């Protein structure tokens, strides 16, 4: 059942991504309500699928991250008219769901699942994944900003100029994602520390996971510091967000390759 639901989610996200990319492939653009309805339907099914998962391991984490990205995409569409976010968030979420299926998805049940479903632990996972998703949203806004800046500088007023939101709005989205993402991730980290202290017999956490989590927190904190304290904006802030998110991904891959047998390292 869980696999079937994720396959439906994969199809809905995939079709939604194809429709979002259609204008850049010189195809007729689809109606805007349809572009919003497909990821909304996918997110609704996705919520049902995740509610049946054991929130431990790589597959569930990737699935939750994909859902957070789609929800942030929809929020950007609604609040900031940032429909261009779907150009990157859509393919990324679709790929994450596909990787989650390949990694394996376990339904809830059994003693281990009962322990992992402790409200404290579930809140830690939700906040941590949301923090990483907000960091990814900042990366997406930064990438769209630099792409549109390059097109405007070259005086090319094609699909990018017509479909992307103004540079100022993308810069605001980047700032918002970073400022909200840092306290969200901080709470997730604190809950993890509290969970480990309170439940000494709880889930084993690999050292690599601790290293990566703390590195991600430091990088996100640095990105917020340069934006808020150093007042970076525009291209400089965009480069900082892209560099920070890229560093987080590279460190994750390095640690994963260094300890391939650690199942609990996401």
pLDDT at 111: 42
Pair 148, 251 in one domain:
yes
**Which pLDDT tens digits describe the chain residue by residue (266 residues)?**
888 899 999 999 999 888 888 877 777 777 778 888 899 999 999 999 888 877 667 788 888 999 999 999 888 887 766 567 888 888 999 999 998 888 877 665 444 444 444 677 778 788 889 999 999 999 999 999 998 888 888 777 666 666 777 888 889 999 999 999 999 999 988 887 776 556 555 555 667 777 888 899 999 999 999 999 999 999 999 999 999 999 999 988 888 777 665 555 55
Q: Is 31 exposed, middle or buried (0-12, 13-18, 19+ CB in 10 A)?
A: exposed
Q: Which two tokens stand for residue 146?
A: 């630099």
Pair 77, 141 in one domain:
no
pLDDT at 209: 77
Hey, is 234 helix, strand or coil? helix
pLDDT at 81: 64
What is the C-alpha to C-alpha distance for residues 111 and 227, in angstroms, rounded to an integer?
45
Pair 240, 127 in one domain:
yes
Q: How many domains does the chain have?
A: 2
Q: For the chain, how far is it from start to end, CA to CA, in angstroms?
A: 23
Pair 75, 87 in one domain:
yes
Pair 164, 239 in one domain:
yes
**Which of 68, 90, 117 finishes a domain?**
117
Q: Which two tokens stand for residue 152?
A: 């405007």
Pair 169, 214 in one domain:
yes
Pair 112, 124 in one domain:
no
Pair 129, 227 in one domain:
yes
What is the C-alpha to C-alpha distance for residues 68 and 130, in angstroms, rounded to an integer?
6
pLDDT at 208: 75
What is the C-alpha to C-alpha distance for residues 28 and 162, in angstroms, rounded to an integer?
14
**Which of 117, 137, 167 finishes a domain?**
117
What is the C-alpha to C-alpha distance for residues 99 and 119, in angstroms, rounded to an integer?
26
Distance of CA 62 to the CA centre of its chain: 9
Exposure class string for 42-67: b at 16+ Cβ within 10 A, else e: bbebbeebbeebbbbbbbbbbbbbbb
Hey, is 105 helix, strand or coil? coil
Q: Which two tokens stand for residue 243?
A: 């560099």
Q: Range of 196's domain?
A: 119-266
Q: What does DSSP assign to residue 13?
A: H
The residue count for the chain: 266
Residue 128 has a CB neighbour count (10 Å cut-off) of 25
Pair 154, 220 in one domain:
yes
Pair 180, 232 in one domain:
yes
């Amino acid at each position: 059942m869980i696999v079937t639901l994720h396959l439906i989610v994969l199809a809905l996200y995939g079709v939604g991504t194809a429709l979002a990319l259609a204008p850049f492939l010189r195809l007729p653009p689809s109606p805007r309500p349809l572009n919003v309805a497909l990821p909304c339907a996918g997110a609704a099914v996705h919520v049902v699928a995740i509610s049946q998962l054991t929130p431990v391991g790589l597959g569930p984490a990737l699935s939750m991250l994909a859902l957070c990205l789609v929800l942030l995409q929809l929020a950007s569409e609604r609040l900031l008219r940032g429909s261009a976010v779907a150009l990157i968030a859509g393919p990324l979420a679709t790929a994450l769901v596909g990787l989650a299926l390949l990694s394996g998805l376990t339904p809830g049940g059994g003693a281990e699942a009962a322990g992992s479903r402790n409200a404290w632990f579930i809140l830690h996972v939700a906040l941590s994944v949301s923090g990483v998703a907000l960091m990814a949203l900042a990366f997406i806004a930064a990438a769209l900003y630099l792409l549109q800046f390059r097109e405007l500088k070259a005086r090319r007023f094609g699909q990018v100029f017509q479909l992307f939101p103004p540079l100022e709005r993308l810069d605001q989205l980047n700032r918002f994602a970073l400022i909200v993402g840092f306290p969200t991730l901080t709470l997730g980290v604190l809950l993890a520390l509290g969970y480990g202290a309170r439940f000494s017999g709880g889930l084993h956490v690999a050292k690599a996971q601790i290293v990566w989590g703390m590195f991600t927190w430091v990088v996100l904190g640095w990105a917020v510091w340069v934006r808020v304290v150093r007042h970076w904006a525009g291209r400089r802030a965009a480069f900082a967000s892209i560099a920070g998110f890229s560093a987080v991904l590279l460190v994750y891959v390095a640690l994963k390759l260094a300890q391939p047998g650690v199942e609990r390292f996401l």
